[in-house]
Chain A
Amino acid sequence: MAKLSDFTLDIIESSLIASAEETFSAFGRASKSPVIYEVLDYAAGLTDADGLLIAQANGVPGFLGTLDMAVQDCIKKFGKDGFSPGDICIVNIPYTSGTHLNDVNLIMPVFVQGRIVAYSAIKGHWSEVGGMHFGSWTSDSTEIYQEGLIFPPIKLFEKGKVNQAMVDMIRANVRTPDMTLGDMEAHAASLRVGAKRIEDMCKKYGVNTILEAMDRIQKKGEKLTKLRLKELPHGTFEVEDTVDDDGITDIPVPVRARITISDDEFIVDLRGSGKQARGSINCPWCATVSAARAIFKAVTDTHGPVSDGNFRALKVLADPGTIFNPIPPAPTSTYWESMAFITDLVWHALAPMIPDKLSAGHFLSVCATIVGGMDDRTKQPFAIVEPQPGGWGGALGKDGESGLVCSGDGETYIMSNEVMEVRYPIVVEQYSLNIGDGSGKGKFRGGFGIMKDYRINNSNASFTSSMGRSLYPCWGMNGGGKGTPNYFILEKANQAPRRLRKVAAESLQAHDLIRLRTGGGGGFGDPLERDPERVLNDVVDGYVTVEQAKNEYGVAIDEIQMKVNLGATKSLRNSFLSSPK
């Protein structure tokens, strides 16, 4: 009965997603590095036998869009018949299927009755993969070789047996071998959890039913996306922006997108963006596609399950040798600084037309930091690798969110400070909203970034960070103001404080202070149209000063009664309107 198989399809699809989720949670729980178990900087998914995505667990959206390409890379190298049960491949090459070298893919073919029915894939951020500095990714590299070990597709496990030569190589080339290899083990074990579930499903429903379901899941995604494409504004939209620098010098990098939407296609043409950069801000091709997929999914089907079908109408164009399609040996280790712009350019171009789906611009950068070194207490190496949260844009009907991870991150958690203090030799002196730097004003204002101060409580430590959107803050929309920049301040003994946007392996001593500051989001709509009561509430909550209320919003607040002076507000706003700023 046709309708029954529809129901069965729903059930199989839920079960496939559940097995991806199970794989995901197994990795988090078994892992030994905080960037995995606390931050959840990884993603898990399943593809069909051709390497096309059929299900994923919600993790880091920037990673999710790359999983299928990593599987395809492995199939390309070994051939469809080149695998045996128990094989697990490792791959992290940025140019064909990766992001930066820390992000390692492990891929396992799932065999049922002698044939491959699916691949289970996890891409996770390994804390240390060698390279020029502790933590591997860095903001001062000029060649990929400085950023750690490159794994072309290699069989890390063959027929269930680990490739000991590979393990020995890894052990000899990374700074935290126990943590790195512990993660490798957890990474592989979690893949087996997901694979087992698919085997069970095949047993229950029959292999052919499962294969048919995989095909129909993709067709369903394709059909839904086509429906949604029809609802989007059609035409060609152009937008440009600027990346702060090329990673090494202070020369900014222009980025451009031309988006063409029709009933059948959604083309993101990035040609005309800057040449590939000297420094590590290059976004490898696969990450470029992934970033485009994230925004495409956001505007076509925000909540539905994800499969390859969802992305068939999407075309991405970028010339080789540019920042969005670099060629070897371009460094890519702070790739998010340009990758985030791909999502943002499309977002920026479409937001005014679909304000019910998209807010004004947000702080954008992962604002990643590494504090690392040798812990005096334990004589063991430590590495705190984190993204930092920031302010999001105001939107139709709501103010922006404060202290939220960027669009490239998703179900990603900021570490607990209390946990950090036990685990690492630092003292967190402050963790609050960065209200002082403000946010984009507007009818609905931007949210705020954060302030986090780390005091080094160890004889020495090193600090690496890259905070984009430090010189060119995010955009407001429909008359809303711009956001505010991301940066950090280093306060070292006997030195004047330095305000910076990136630093690589800066050496710090006991009592030195790292002050992280992320920016506020852009505003939505004319600030003079903001409901005076909202402005008053912001004043009472301390988000906005009485001065700002007056000068930016044209709202006069009676400070004694803590009320809006309606008469004075009216004349203030009138005077603003008659004398353009």
Chain B
Amino acid sequence: MPVRVAIDVGGTFTDLCALNEATGEYAFVKDSTTPENYAAGVINVVRKSGIPGGEMNRFIGTGSTMVINALTERKGAKTILVTTKGFRDVLEIGRSNRTDIYNFRYEKPKPFVPRRFRYEVDERTSYKGEEMRPLIKDDVLKVAEACNRNKAEAIAIAFYNAYANPKHELECYEILKNKVKTPYISMSHELSREWREYERVNTTVLNAFVQPKVHQYLTTLELELRRLGAKIGAHVMQSNGGVATFEQGRKTPIYQVESGPIGGVIGAQAIGKAIGADVITLDVGGTTAKTSLIDSGRMKINTEYFIGRNQFFSGYPVKAPVVDIVEIGAGGGSIAWVDELGSLKVGPQSAGADPGPACQNKGGTDPTLTDAFVLTGVIDPNYFLGGEIKLRPELAEKAYREVGGKMHMKAIDAAIGAIEIATANMVNAIKLVSVRRGYDPRDFAMVAFGGGGPMFAVALAQELGIKKVVVPKVPGVFSAWGMLMTDLRHDYIRTKVVGLESSNLGELQGTLDEMKKEGTKQLESEGIKASEMRYEGFFDIRYLGQEHTIPTPVPMGVKSADSLALIRRRFHDLHFKAYTFNLNDPTEVVNIRVVAFGKVKKQPLRPSRAPRRARAKQSRMRSVYLDESGFKRVPVYSRDSIPVGAKIQGPAIIEEPTATTILKKGNLMTIDRYGNLVVEV
């Protein structure tokens, strides 16, 4: 009885989703996350699921929450940086931008390695990758001493121009590894082969900073899984949308950053494929809303990612491909407040799970979005988490009365306003991943999940002109479900600035081949058969003289002028889509990318047949505020009582233990053959 298990470790909850490959049945478990020892929480849900270790044929976990927490709380390893003479302070200088332009008391991102732990060694490589000065071994030995004297817990080696030739980094590593006590040594070229020294050194330092923690977590987890009898190699989610072995995960933990919400995007991709549509995702949790876009069945990957960046802070660059997800502070726990001009605002402050929304009576007194939905009648106070928690509407009322008072508004009007503002913020977030990238949301379906997604989905779809909303089964643990669908994935990048011309075909093809070989080796080591391997090539192309490039898909064989013409045509199309114009100029390649996939057998979404008489049973009526027409009595349905094929006309409320879906007037809802709730907006 082979069982596939995925576990999403979130900030509040650890979710398990398991698929029995023989029967096609799913199991779900939700329990608290254990921040002191994340592995314990994971093992806890595995135990609760009752799945015998010996029957697991695949295991996927996440390390994202741990990486993000270590970075935001700055609780990581004491890290020493080894860098090229003359460049000790690159990490501190950064790019020198003042993001908060009218703040004459601005604070830059503080480096993760203080100056005392940044050591220089004499060596220099040219931009062409040639040795200008050899690595001085004595300098490295002195650094080794300093590492031991300072009890360094991790070491980052990042040399200037190492992207062009990593020889000196490797030499340095060979000397250090036998001399220093810590086993944790990160090298810049292993993380990024792209130019830009600050971005690369910062990535290396962050990797080192989180490495011991993640290493320990994955090692403990591996051991515990073995104890449970698991015989398979386990995997961990990567922020590029793929998974890596624990072995790889221990080496490059920074690649796990932001990998948490990706399961949902992958799940949405699978649903999009099944229903034959490209989708925009909407994942509303306790503190944030996340949205992402899938074009032609592909997730969008962002290669200019920053940790902690916002309107007023420049953040920390990480040179790792990250699925393009926009996250804003609007979730169930987000707090409504009034600014000094009397405008109502929502978030980014959140009451989280503790003290929680006012209506939960766990100590929270601030009005949250959950409170607003209780007041508008959308959430049934007696059916929150399936009735596990009883909510107290009068506390929600009290919280909103206070905030409404500041605007001379009734509590209910303030609550309605808070929902509208959160909706508007989400509209802007969705525009960032769609309109701002040249996509028209009207061409997409929306897949809504997370505890709050289904409450906002229809309103957002109306606002954006989206015609179809899909709420998958068990939206509350959808991310874990999506993780079951992931392939192994490895991204390789080389900076190589050459014209897109026939004379460079040899060099371009040679680099593609070399990177493909690297990918094959990696996948083989992970036990993937050749027939299950797949490669995608990209050139980052630009017009001669431009700086910014566009990743353009290329065939793995670029052997002829024909393939060059094809690539050029694709580039022109993509450039036009992004910037509304083309130039009649020569083109050049800046980076060559190869993505190596190891295909994992997927459980196809199995359609089930509709019963002959599919009619939904209405459970009761409730007074709910859905639009400007005010409170109306609308029918409420329990999701599990609606058979496949049944149709429900809005307005209505569909309830299930982890989520509530709103249908507005004019919406038509059906349950499709895959069990998804589909709303025609």
Residue numbers of A with Cβ under 8 A of B are 1, 3-4, 6-7, 10-11, 14-15, 18, 22, 26, 28-34, 37-38, 40, 58-59, 61, 178-179, 182, 185-186, 189, 192-193, 220, 223-224, 227, 294-295, 297-298, 301-303, 347, 356-359, 389, 392, 395, 398, 401-405, 407, 409-414, 416-419, 421-422, 427, 429-433, 450, 453, 540-543
Partner of B101, one of A61, A358, A416: A61
Contact A418 B161 (CB under 8 A): yes
Residues 553-586 of B contacting A (Cβ, < 8 Å): 578-581, 583, 585
Contact A409 B436 (CB under 8 A): no
Q: Does B631 contact A (CB under 8 A)?
A: no
Q: Does B88 contact A (CB under 8 A)?
A: yes
Contact A359 B104 (CB under 8 A): yes
Contact A432 B545 (CB under 8 A): no
- Most A Cβ at <10 Å: residue of B199, B409, B545, B628: B545
With A28-B548, A418-B160, A542-B115 as contacts: A403 and B94 at CB distance below 8 Å: yes
Partner of A432, one of B89, B102, B161: B89
Q: Could you tell me the distance in whole angstroms from the C-beta of A392 to the nearest C-beta in chain B?
A: 8
Contact A298 B103 (CB under 8 A): yes
Partner of B89, one of A28, A178, A431, A540: A431
Q: Does B546 contact A (CB under 8 A)?
A: yes
Q: How far is the CA of A427 from the CA of B126 in the complex (A)?
A: 8
Contact A405 B195 (CB under 8 A): no
Partner of A430, one of B87, B92, B343, B421: B87
Residues 104-156 of B contacting A (Cβ, < 8 Å): 104-108, 114-116, 126-127
Contact residues in B for A413 (Cβ distance below 8 Å): 95-97
Partner of B92, one of A22, A192, A402, A540: A402
Partner of A22, one of B89, B102, B420, B436: B436
Residue numbers of B with Cβ under 8 A of A are 86-90, 92-108, 114-116, 126-127, 160-161, 163, 195-199, 311-312, 340-341, 343-344, 407, 409, 413, 417, 420-421, 424, 427-428, 431, 436, 497, 543, 545-548, 578-581, 583, 585, 628
Contact residues in A for B417 (Cβ distance below 8 Å): 3, 7
Contact residues in B for A59 (Cβ distance below 8 Å): 101
Contact B96 A414 (CB under 8 A): yes
Cβ-closest chain B residue relative to A362 = B104
Q: Could you tell me the distance in whole angstroms from the C-beta of A455 to the nearest C-beta in chain B?
A: 11
Contact B409 A3 (CB under 8 A): yes
Contact residues in A for B103 (Cβ distance below 8 Å): 298, 302-303
Q: Could you tell me the distance in whole angstroms from the C-beta of A307 to the nearest C-beta in chain B?
A: 13
Cβ-closest chain B residue relative to A409 = B98
Partner of A61, one of B102, B579, B585, B628: B102
Contact residues in B for A427 (Cβ distance below 8 Å): 126
With A178-B545, A432-B89 as contacts: A7 and B424 at CB distance below 8 Å: yes
Contact B115 A193 (CB under 8 A): no
Contact A401 B108 (CB under 8 A): yes
Contact B104 A433 (CB under 8 A): no
Contact residues in B for A61 (Cβ distance below 8 Å): 101-102
Partner of B581, one of A6, A189, A298, A405: A189
Q: How far is the CA of A139 from the CA of B96 in the complex (A)?
A: 25
Contact B547 A432 (CB under 8 A): no
Partner of A10, one of B90, B116, B421: B421
Contact B421 A34 (CB under 8 A): no
Contact A58 B583 (CB under 8 A): no
Known: A10-B421, A418-B160. 11 other contacts (CB 8 A): A6-B343, A11-B427, A28-B548, A32-B546, A186-B581, A303-B103, A303-B312, A347-B104, A418-B195, A431-B90, A432-B87
Contact A185 B105 (CB under 8 A): no
With A347-B104, A404-B98 as contacts: A418 and B581 at CB distance below 8 Å: no
Contact A432 B88 (CB under 8 A): yes
Cβ-closest chain A residue relative to B427 = A11
Contact B101 A404 (CB under 8 A): no
Cβ-closest chain B residue relative to A387 = B96
Cβ-closest chain B residue relative to A193 = B580
Contact A431 B93 (CB under 8 A): yes
Q: Chain B interface mostly helix, strand, loop or mixed?
A: loop
Partner of A182, one of B86, B95, B436, B583: B583
Q: How far is the CA of A418 from the CA of B193 in the complex (A)?
A: 12
With A7-B420, A58-B101, A543-B115 as contacts: A404 and B86 at CB distance below 8 Å: no
Q: Could you tell me the distance in whole angstroms from the C-beta of B319 to the nearest C-beta in chain A?
A: 12
Q: Could you tell me the distance in whole angstroms from the C-beta of A364 to the nearest C-beta in chain B?
A: 12
Q: How far is the CA of A429 from the CA of B120 in the complex (A)?
A: 13
Contact residues in B for A31 (Cβ distance below 8 Å): 546-547
Cβ-closest chain A residue relative to B413 = A3
Q: How far is the CA of A28 from the CA of B97 in the complex (A)?
A: 15
Q: How far is the CA of A314 from the CA of B90 in the complex (A)?
A: 40
Contact A417 B545 (CB under 8 A): no
Contact B195 A419 (CB under 8 A): yes
Q: How far is the CA of A22 from the CA of B343 in the complex (A)?
A: 26
Cβ-closest chain B residue relative to A413 = B95
With A298-B103, A405-B96, A419-B195 as contacts: A179 and B545 at CB distance below 8 Å: yes
Partner of A58, one of B99, B104, B413: B99
Contact B98 A403 (CB under 8 A): no
Partner of B102, one of A303, A398, A405: A303
Q: How far is the CA of A303 from the CA of B313 in the complex (A)?
A: 12
Contact residues in A for B107 (Cβ distance below 8 Å): 398, 401
With A26-B579, A178-B545, A404-B108 as contacts: A433 and B89 at CB distance below 8 Å: yes
Q: How far is the CA of A182 from the CA of B584 in the complex (A)?
A: 11
Contact A403 B195 (CB under 8 A): no
Q: Could you tell me the distance in whole angstroms from the C-beta of A343 to the nearest C-beta in chain B?
A: 8
Q: How far is the CA of A303 from the CA of B86 in the complex (A)?
A: 37
Q: Could you tell me the distance in whole angstroms from the C-beta of B437 to the nearest C-beta in chain A?
A: 10
Contact A419 B196 (CB under 8 A): yes
Contact residues in B for A430 (Cβ distance below 8 Å): 86-87
Contact residues in B for A432 (Cβ distance below 8 Å): 86-90, 93
- Most A Cβ at <10 Å: residue of B92, B101, B578: B101
Contact residues in B for A32 (Cβ distance below 8 Å): 543, 545-546
Q: How far is the CA of A418 from the CA of B343 in the complex (A)?
A: 47
Contact residues in B for A26 (Cβ distance below 8 Å): 579-580
Q: How far is the CA of A179 from the CA of B544 in the complex (A)?
A: 10
Contact B105 A359 (CB under 8 A): yes
- Most B Cβ at <10 Å: residue of A179, A189, A414, A422: A422
Partner of B105, one of A193, A227, A358, A540: A358
Contact A10 B436 (CB under 8 A): no
Q: Could you tell me the distance in whole angstroms from the C-beta of B583 to the nearest C-beta in chain A?
A: 7
Q: How far is the CA of A295 from the CA of B102 in the complex (A)?
A: 7
Q: Could you tell me the distance in whole angstroms from the C-beta of A64 to the nearest C-beta in chain B?
A: 8
Contact residues in B for A356 (Cβ distance below 8 Å): 105
Contact B100 A11 (CB under 8 A): no
Contact residues in B for A431 (Cβ distance below 8 Å): 86-87, 89-90, 93
Partner of B548, one of A29, A58, A402: A29
With A402-B93, A431-B86, A432-B87 as contacts: A417 and B583 at CB distance below 8 Å: no
Cβ-closest chain B residue relative to A34 = B547
Contact B579 A298 (CB under 8 A): no
Cβ-closest chain A residue relative to B345 = A10
Contact residues in A for B431 (Cβ distance below 8 Å): 18
Contact residues in A for B94 (Cβ distance below 8 Å): 403
Q: How far is the CA of A410 from the CA of B86 in the complex (A)?
A: 26
Q: How far is the CA of A410 from the CA of B163 in the complex (A)?
A: 29
Contact B578 A29 (CB under 8 A): yes
Contact A422 B195 (CB under 8 A): yes
Contact B198 A416 (CB under 8 A): yes
Contact residues in A for B420 (Cβ distance below 8 Å): 4, 7
Contact A37 B163 (CB under 8 A): no
Cβ-closest chain A residue relative to B99 = A411
- Most A Cβ at <10 Å: residue of B93, B407, B417: B93
- Most A Cβ at <10 Å: residue of B98, B106, B580: B98
Question: What are 9 A-B interface contacts by the 8 Å CB criterion?
Answer: A3-B409, A7-B421, A189-B581, A227-B341, A402-B89, A410-B97, A413-B96, A419-B196, A432-B93
Contact residues in A for B197 (Cβ distance below 8 Å): 416-418
